Amino acid sequence: MQLWKVLLAVGIDVVAIASLDPSSIARNETSFPKSPVAQQPNCKNPQTQPEMNVCSRLDYQQADRKLKQTYDRLRSKSTATSRQQLVNSQTAWIAFRDSNCEFQQSFFEGGSIAPTMLNTCLSDVTQQRTSELEMYLQNKIPAPISANLQIPDRNLNQIYDRILSKLTGQSQNKLKSVQRNWIAFRDANCKFEVSLARTNSNFCRARMSEQRANSLTDLNNRFF
């Protein structure tokens, strides 16, 4: 069972969380109110929601440090043109990451579980980005399942529209904002990929559309 379902099942309360500060290029330290738990909680077996919140934040910070290390390595090995494309891609990714995780934590807005859900999302997305950057470092760019961009693009639009139809008001607007940020990230990242590997941009767009469709499918299964 998903962690958030377990916590909701036992009736954990909810509190608001602090907003994100997307000021850095490669990482973002999220600020939360001071927790009443000890400075070094037992993160191998956290027993309380405050402990889970702190431990999830530590997990995210660890993932964030690894991302920065990988990003710096890739940037140092890139040409001047590719380096600027990488900066553009990472900047666009940060906007997508923050809006995406804010959207996901909004399902728990007002609850004590919200910081954990936000940090879990940030950690997962950061680890995925690190894997992508490591892929570029190793010059191992996987092929999309379908080289025909129309197929993954159509599949992506279908799952996106399905989720959008289940939302109302601000939730719809938030998802639309997430998707706009993802499109900006996809376009910037594919420009970097082309400058790095001289591949066809549709190759990159198809692969990223497949990944995004998978992420939305997972989101649909978890929340609806």
Q: Does pLDDT of 133 surpass 80?
A: yes
User: If DSSP codes are grouped into helix, strand and coil, which group holds residue 165?
Assistant: helix
Q: CA torsion, points 85, 67, 97, 106, in degrees to nearest 10?
A: -170
Output the pLDDT for position 147. 81
What is the pLDDT of the chain when averaged over all its residues?
84
Over residues 20-46, mean pLDDT: 51
Q: Does pLDDT of 120 surpass 80?
A: yes
Rg over CA atoms, the chain: 18
Output the pLDDT for position 49. 83
Residues in the chain: 224
Q: Which residue has the higher pLDDT, 133 or 141?
A: 133
Considering the entire predicted model, what is its pTM? Answer: 0.81
Q: Does pLDDT of 200 surpass 70?
A: yes
Output the pLDDT for position 164. 97
Q: Which residues of 156-183 are buried (b: 16+ CB within 10 A; e: fewer)?
A: beebbeebeeebeeeeeebbebbbebbb
Q: Does pLDDT of 23 surpass 70?
A: no
Output the pLDDT for position 16. 30
Sign of CA dihedral 87, 190, 119, 160: positive
- Cα three-residue angle 158-181-28, rounded to 5 degrees: 130
What percent of the chain has pLDDT above 90?
A: 66
pLDDT digits (tens, 9 = 90+) for 134-176: 999 998 888 899 889 999 999 999 999 999 999 999 999 999 9
